[in-house]
């Protein structure tokens, strides 16, 4: 699910990013109005934010039939509080990008991953979801 967060986000950039995933089971959607981001946030228990940079894993056969996404048995995120991000990366303060980061995220810190830790967690979750394939 690609949600327009930054000014340069668009259907075109979403389609370009989606081409990097080569698996016929994967479905990709573009959501410029952030409806899925709001639904995802509510599914994750967040009341005040839009979810983005989150990875939700579902077993085969799960359907999204109602107004909100079904709960995901496994998920990972890349969301930090703005002050934490800016303290760690002082050259990236008050930019268009950092202004999109919530001052206080509702995301659970133990599900937070970036860099190599994110890649490892995504591989592990994918293998688990696909039954070790």
Q: What pLDDT, in 10s, does the model give residues 75-124?
A: 887 776 554 555 555 665 555 554 555 555 566 676 778 788 888 988 88
Segment 12-67, tens digit of pLDDT:
988 888 888 888 877 778 888 888 888 888 888 777 777 878 888 888 888 888 87
Full-model pTM? 0.65
Is 72 within 8 Å of 59 (Cβ atoms)? no
Query: For residue 69, what pLDDT band results from cuts at 50, 70 and 90?
Result: confident
- 10 Å CB burial of residue 85 (0-12, 13-18, 19+) is middle
CA 45 from chain center: how many Å?
14
Place of tokens 């959607």: 29
Length, in residues, of the chain: 133
What is the model's pLDDT at position 65? 85
Task: Give the C-alpha separation, 8 to 95, whole Å.
Answer: 14
Show the tokens assigned to 128.
Answer: 């688990």
């Amino acid at each position: 699910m690609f949600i327009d967060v930054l000014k340069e986000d668009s259907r075109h950039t979403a389609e370009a990013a989606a081409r990097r995933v080569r698996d016929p089971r994967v479905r990709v959607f573009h959501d410029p109005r952030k409806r899925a981001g709001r639904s995802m946030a509510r599914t994750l228990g967040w009341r005040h934010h839009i979810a983005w940079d989150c990875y939700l894993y579902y077993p085969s056969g799960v359907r999204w039939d109602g107004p909100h996404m079904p709960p995901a048995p496994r998920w990972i995120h890349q969301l930090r509080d703005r002050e934490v991000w800016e303290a760690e990366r002082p050259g990236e303060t008050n930019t268009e990008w950092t202004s999109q980061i919530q001052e206080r995220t509702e995301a659970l810190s133990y599900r937070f991953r970036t860099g190599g830790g994110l890649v490892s967690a995504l591989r592990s979750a994918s293998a688990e979801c696909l039954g070790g394939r």
